[in-house]
Structure 1
Amino acid sequence: MKTYATIALGLALGTALAGCGQQGEAPKAEETAAMTDDAGTMAMPAETIHGKSTGTVTAIDIAKGQVTLDHGAIAELEWPPMTMGFAAKPELLKDIKVGDKVAFELDWDGKAGTITKLDKAL
């Protein structure tokens, strides 16, 4: 009985290893076109979008020109509330500290956001 189990295991292992040496096929032209069509439906802005919201400062790195905000929804970008980092000129950050409630405006290029206006909220 052990001999049959050993042979079966050896055959299964050999088949599995043989399959590992095979190369996959390149996608067919129609599959590639379908992938491209799907990517074309993603929301990728063709130009910079300007948005504004309010939030709370959770981190600041003046040397890197970076601020992290726990912000409310940004209607212009169709974003829900979230926490994320943005680039900002050091002069916009000089009077801001962690914990401050702020009103801000930003430009989004489809990859990164840059704060263009940042004021303490009243």
Structure 2
Amino acid sequence: MNKTLMMASSLALMASLAACNKQEDAPKHAESSAASGPMANMPMAGQMMHGMAAGTVTAIDPAEGTITLDHGAMSNLGWPAMTMGFTAKPEQLSGIKVGDKVDFEIDWDGKAGAITKIAKSGS
């Protein structure tokens, strides 16, 4: 029994060591996980860019100074349509409510977007 156990342990050890040397089978990681998917074209932090789109207001938090918009694609930023929150000044949110259709513009620094212009749309 000891001889069988010793032989099985040796074979298991050899198989484990052989598996450790198979680096070519290891999964290859993407160069940057941020550079894939529908948001791959988003600018990196520090690059100030300007975007504009039309959307629908889904939430407003005047205390936090934020507005959430379900907006269409922003081709000048390379963004697909999505729902996203932005910072806004209280005077920009005046007269805007959840459910309103709006046209808006933002400044995007690669991490956060700030509303620079927002108005109810004509449609």
TM-score, structure 1 normalization: 0.66
Q: May I ask how many residue pairs the two structures share in their alignment?
A: 102
Choose between structure 1 and 2: higher helix proportion: 1
Q: Is the 8 A contact 2:52 2:74 kept in 1?
A: yes
CA shift for structure 1 position 47: 2.5
Q: Match for residue 103 of structure 2? A: 103
Q: Match for residue 51 of structure 1? A: 51
Q: Match for residue 73 of structure 1? A: 73
Structure 1 distance, partners of 2:54, 2:69, is 9
| Unmatched segments (≥5 aa) in structure 1 | 13-34
The residue matched to 1:69 in structure 2 has which SS?
strand
Structure 1 distance, partners of 2:113, 2:121, is 20
TM-score, structure 2 normalization: 0.65
Q: Match for residue 118 of structure 1? A: 118
The RMSD of aligned alpha carbons is 3.5
Structure 1 distance, partners of 2:74, 2:96, is 21
Following superposition, which runs of at least 4 residues in structure 1 exceed 3 angstroms of deviation? none
Structure 1 distance, partners of 2:102, 2:93, is 11
State the percentage of identical aligned residues.
62
The residue matched to 2:76 in structure 1 has which SS?
helix
CA shift for structure 1 position 45: 5.8
CA shift for structure 1 position 94: 1.1
